[in-house]
């Protein structure tokens, strides 16, 4: 790990001013940043510890039913907050399907949004990687790329975004509140993360030095609470990143779909919201045929970036199954294995 | 840059001068305070051997910078027993054969203490397994570990009920 200076500001203004200095990085729980610093992938000159900033660790409800979740709220505290989980069950399920209990106790909302890809070449400083070292090439193109992107990738980078939490956030029209040297602004969740294009090193639309203050959920996002699921396929049952995942949310009225939300995870460099598939579902009945059609639309533009064509079919099936589970209804209690295909409620087809 | 931090470790308040902010909580405990009960497995958040409680919550000490934990209370495996009286979770691990080589055990035990106080598993072995998945055991003592967690949870509940009566 390189040497660095450490400051621990006690106001947002102080933190933002501190970050204006080049080579600075915000430190939250450190579960991603400290890891990357140990292996030499992140080499900040100065850490700005944001864990002591006041007012960023609250879950605040507005009278209209919208909610603001502070950037320092820990992943576990959000997932187990009763009111939050009742209104946004797919978000709670996604959070509980991620990492481990220890990591969720530490990891923050802001840090989760900003976590870096798990591409093995990105993490290995001896490999070529445009995301880590712009212009150096991409060893994943001809390497071990089973788990890499099938949507929105470019010849410059085929990495995926690893977050579970971010998938339902994209589906539910969350908004990221940030503060930077130019003041405060909102970034709609869908335009928060970026596809690689020819600048994979620019991962988000956060400007340099901008601090995430929190994430807002609009009141409308709670209309899906009775029919929401997050489904995550992993290479082992727990404590593993997604191979593919999906957040599905339906608003059903007298047997037909009034509103639908769908986003897929681990297929692109950003959580992948699919509005065309949502639109196709609206007004129809929640049938397997309708869900299969939505999945076709969702993956119409997908193509393998390497040895990963299987992820397209897998994503199709996960979408159909997540929608079917959502149609069945949000489980009364959080499943013992959150997000797991091995924990499905009885009655739903195990084969999509 | 020298940084001074205050930590309460196993009930004892300490002021610690750090010559370097790079020190993780794990290295602080093992290399500077000689509390070697907390183990280093992967040093990357992937195994749980380094689990300790920070303000009562289980965390991976290998990924926390000590300097960032200024003002917190840390409990390690050394802080559980009261003299010769083992903590109920320690006793249950022995009773239920919850280990073989023992390397992962301090982390498993601290994680189990955290799990029980979080209170989300009920008496469901599936939930216990899921909520203990952050602790790998190379010897594969998982069956005994799950039983130990459930056993310790029962004991602690009974203790609490007795104390309340
Ligand atoms: C073994 C392991 C398994 C994991 N499994 C999963 C999984 O299955 N699913 C999943 O989703 N995640 C998983 N994770 C990732 C985990 O969710 C992230 O490490 C965590 O959310 C990061 O949060 P943090 O508070 O520790 O952030 P940090 O590590 O402190 O920071 C991460 C990044 O965010 C930036 N940052 C932090 N806060 C802010 C802010 N307020 N404003 C602007 N920038 C900020 C930092 O500068 C840094 O670049 C896993 C991690 C590990 C180590
Ligand atoms: S896929 Fe992206 S992150 Fe991975 S090596 Fe290529 S450029 Fe780097
Ligand atoms: S040593 Fe910390 S998780 Fe492995
Ligand atoms: S007892 Fe040997 S690693 Fe768990």
Query: Average pLDDT for residues A43-54, to the nearest whole number?
Result: 98
| Domains of chain A, first to last | 1-52 (3.30.43.10), 225-328 (3.30.390.50)
Contact at CB, B21 and A102, closer than 8 angstroms: no
B1 touches chain A (CB under 8 A): yes
Task: pLDDT band for A23, please (50, 70, 90 cuts).
Answer: very high
| Distance of alpha carbon A169 from alpha carbon A175, whole angstroms | 8
To test ligand 3's pocket by mutation, which of B29, B30, B38, B47 has the most ligand atoms within 8 angstroms of CB? B47
CA atoms within 13 A on the CB side of A24: 19
To test ligand 3's pocket by mutation, which of B29, B31, B52, B62 has the most ligand atoms within 8 angstroms of CB? B62
Q: Which conformational region is residue A275 in: left (phi greater than 0), alpha (psi within -120 to 50 degrees), or beta?
A: alpha
Express each pLDDT in A149-161 by its tens digit.
999 999 999 999 9
Please report, rounded to a whole number, the percentage of residues in chain B having pLDDT higher than 90. Answer: 98
| Distance of alpha carbon A70 from alpha carbon A34, whole angstroms | 22
| Residues of B whose CB is below 8 A from A93 | none
Task: Determine if ligand 1 sits within 6 Å of the CB of residue A56.
Answer: no
A183 by Cβ neighbours in 10 Å (0-12 / 13-18 / 19+) ranks as exposed
Pair type for strands B73-75 and B3-9: parallel
- Tokens for A114, please give them: 């900003």
Q: Which helix (H) or strand (E) holds B90?
A: helix B88-95
Q: Is the pLDDT of residue A348 over 90?
A: no
Task: Determine if ligand 1 sits within 6 Å of the CB of residue A12.
Answer: no
CA atoms within 13 A on the CB side of A313: 4
| Distinct helix (H) and strand (E) counts, chain B | 5, 5
| DSSP secondary structure string for all residues of A121-186 | TTS-TTS-BTTTSTTS-BTTTTS--TTS-SSS-BTTB------STHHHHHHTT-EEEEEETTEEEE
- Protein residue closest via CA to atom 3 of ligand 3: B45
| Domains of chain B, first to last | 3-79 (3.10.20.30), 88-164 (1.10.150.120)
State the pLDDT at residue A145.
98
The lowest-confidence range among A172-176, A347-351, B25-29, B135-139 is A347-351
| Residues of A whose CB is below 8 A from B70 | 8
Q: How many CB atoms lie within 10 A of CB A306?
A: 18
- Tokens for A295, please give them: 């999945």
From ligand 4's centre to the CA of A321, what distance in Å?
Answer: 37
Tell me which residue of B162, B148, B157, B154 sits closest to B99, measured CA to CA.
B148
Q: SS3 for A265?
A: strand
Record the pTM. Answer: 0.97
Q: SS3 for A350?
A: coil
Task: pLDDT band for A144, please (50, 70, 90 cuts).
Answer: very high
Tell me which residue of A259, A266, A318 sits closest to A291, measured CA to CA.
A318
Query: Average pLDDT for residues B72-92, to the nearest whole number?
Result: 98
Q: What is the ipTM of this complex?
A: 0.98
Task: Provide residues with CB under 6 Å of ligand 4.
Answer: B 99-105, 137-139, 141
Q: Is the dihedral of CA A326, A330, A333, A339 positive or negative?
A: positive
Task: pLDDT band for B1, please (50, 70, 90 cuts).
Answer: low
To test ligand 1's pocket by mutation, which of A31, A201, A263 has the most ligand atoms within 8 angstroms of CB? A31
Q: SS3 for B114?
A: helix
- Tokens for A46, please give them: 């100065």
| Residues of A whose CB is below 8 A from B27 | none
From ligand 3's centre to the CA of B57, what distance in Å?
Answer: 16
Task: pLDDT band for A350, please (50, 70, 90 cuts).
Answer: very low
- Out of A5, A106, A338, whose CB is closest to B1? A5
Q: Which residue of B has its CA nearest to A8?
A: B68
B59, B61, B131, best to mutate vs chain A, most A CBs in 10 Å: B59
CB A164 within 8 Å of CB A98: yes
Please report, rounded to a whole number, the percentage of residues in chain A having pLDDT higher than 90. Answer: 97
């Amino acid at each position: 790990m390189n040497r660095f200076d450490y400051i621990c500001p006690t106001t947002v203004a102080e933190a933002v001013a501190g970050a204006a200095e080049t080579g600075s990085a915000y430190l939250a729980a450190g579960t991603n940043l400290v890891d990357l610093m140990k292996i030499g992938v992140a080499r900040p000159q100065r850490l700005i510890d944001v864990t002591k900033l006041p007012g960023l660790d609250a879950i605040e409800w507005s009278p209209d039913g919208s909610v603001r979740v502070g950037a320092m709220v820990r992943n576990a505290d959000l997932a187990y907050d009763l009111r939050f989980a009742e209104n946004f069950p797919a978000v709670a399920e996604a959070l509980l399907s991620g990492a481990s209990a220890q990591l969720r106790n530490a990891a923050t909302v802001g840090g989760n949004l900003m976590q870096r890809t798990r591409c093995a070449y990105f993490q290995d400083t001896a490999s070529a990687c445009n995301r880590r070292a712009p212009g150096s090439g991409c060893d994943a193109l001809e390497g071990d790329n089973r788990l890499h992107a099938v949507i929105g990738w470019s010849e410059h980078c085929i990495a995926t975004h690893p977050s579970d939490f971010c998938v339902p956030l994209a589906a539910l029209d969350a908004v990221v509140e940030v503060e930077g040297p130019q003041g405060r602004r909102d970034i709609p969740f869908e335009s928060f993360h970026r596809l690689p294009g020819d600048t994979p090193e620019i991962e988000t639309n956060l400007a340099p030095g901008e601090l995430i203050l929190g994430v807002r959920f609009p009141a409308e996002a709670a209309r899906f609470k009775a029919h929401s699921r997050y489904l995550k396929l992993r290479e082992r049952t727990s404590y593993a990143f997604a191979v593919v995942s999906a957040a599905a949310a339906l608003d059903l009225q007298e047997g037909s779909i009034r509103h639908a939300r769908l986003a897929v995870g681990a297929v692109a460099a950003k959580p992948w919201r699919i509005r065309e598939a949502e639109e196709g579902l609206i007004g129809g009945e929640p049938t397997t045929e309708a869900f299969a059609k939505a999945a076709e639309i969702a993956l119409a533009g997908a193509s393998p970036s390497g040895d990963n064509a299987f992820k397209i079919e897998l994503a199709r099936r996960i979408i159909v199954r997540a929608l079917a589970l959502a149609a069945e209804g949000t489980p009364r209690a959080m499943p013992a294995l959150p997000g797991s295909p091995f924990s499905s409620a009885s009655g739903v087809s195990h084969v999509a | 840059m020298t940084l001074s931090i205050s930590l309460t470790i196993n009930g004892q308040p300490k002021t610690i001068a750090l010559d370097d902010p790079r020190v993780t909580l794990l290295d602080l405990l093992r290399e500077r305070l000689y509390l070697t009960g907390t183990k280093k497995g992967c040093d990357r958040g992937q195994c749980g051997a380094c689990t300790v409680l920070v303000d009562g919550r289980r965390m991976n000490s290998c990924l926390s910078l000590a300097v960032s934990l200024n003002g917190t209370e840390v409990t390690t495996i050394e802080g559980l027993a009261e003299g010769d009286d083992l903590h109920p979770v320690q006793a249950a691990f022995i009773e239920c054969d919850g280990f073989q080589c023992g390397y992962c055990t301090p982390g498993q035990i601290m994680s189990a203490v955290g799990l029980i106080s979080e209170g989300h598993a009920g008496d469901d072995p599936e939930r216990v397994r899921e909520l203990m998945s952050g602790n790998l055991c190379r010897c594969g003592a998982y069956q005994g570990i799950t039983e130990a967690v459930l056993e310790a949870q029962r004991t602690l509940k009974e203790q609490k009920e007795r104390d309340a009566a």
